[in-house]
Amino acid sequence: MGQDGFFARVYDVVEQIPAGMVATYGQVAALAGRPRAARYVGYALHANPRPGEIPCHRVVFADGALAPGFAFGGPGEQRRLLEDEGVAFRDEGHVDLRACRWPAGVE
């Protein structure tokens, strides 16, 4: 399967993350059918064809860290968008995954 098909699956998964919740890059990769492709999830989100419609701000690193290269305004903007949705933070740059992680695909 080509990269375009994977990117489309990533966008489909990310569109399902509810407001007020986050998913990790690895979680999105697994739900998109390629569990070892977390880095490619980042590439897909960086190329988001519909900013504002595909909520890429809801995807964070496995430790809850915000994306330093958040393509749509940097980590400060990512944090603002998440806070506006009620996402809890455990410190300046990390989401509280225990409180706000989307449970889809998590065991």
Q: Which residues are catalytic?
A: 56
User: Looking at residue 82, which CATH number applies to its domain?
Assistant: 1.10.10.10
Q: Is the pTM of this model over 0.85?
A: yes
pLDDT value at residue 73: 80
Q: Does 105 fall in a domain?
A: no
Kindly state whether residue 13 falls inside one of the protein's structural domains: yes
Q: What is the domain count for the chain? A: 1
**107 domain-assigned:** no
Domain annotation covers residue 106: no
Domain ranges, residue 70: 3-100
User: Could you report the per-residue pLDDT of 18-60, keeping only the tens digit for each?
Assistant: 999 999 999 999 999 999 999 999 999 999 999 889 999 999 9
DSSP state of 56: G
Residue 27 forms part of a structural domain: yes
Tokens (6 digits) for 4: 């375009």
Which tens digit of pLDDT belongs to each residue from 81-106?
999 999 999 998 999 999 999 999 87
CB neighbourhood size of 50 (10 A): 9
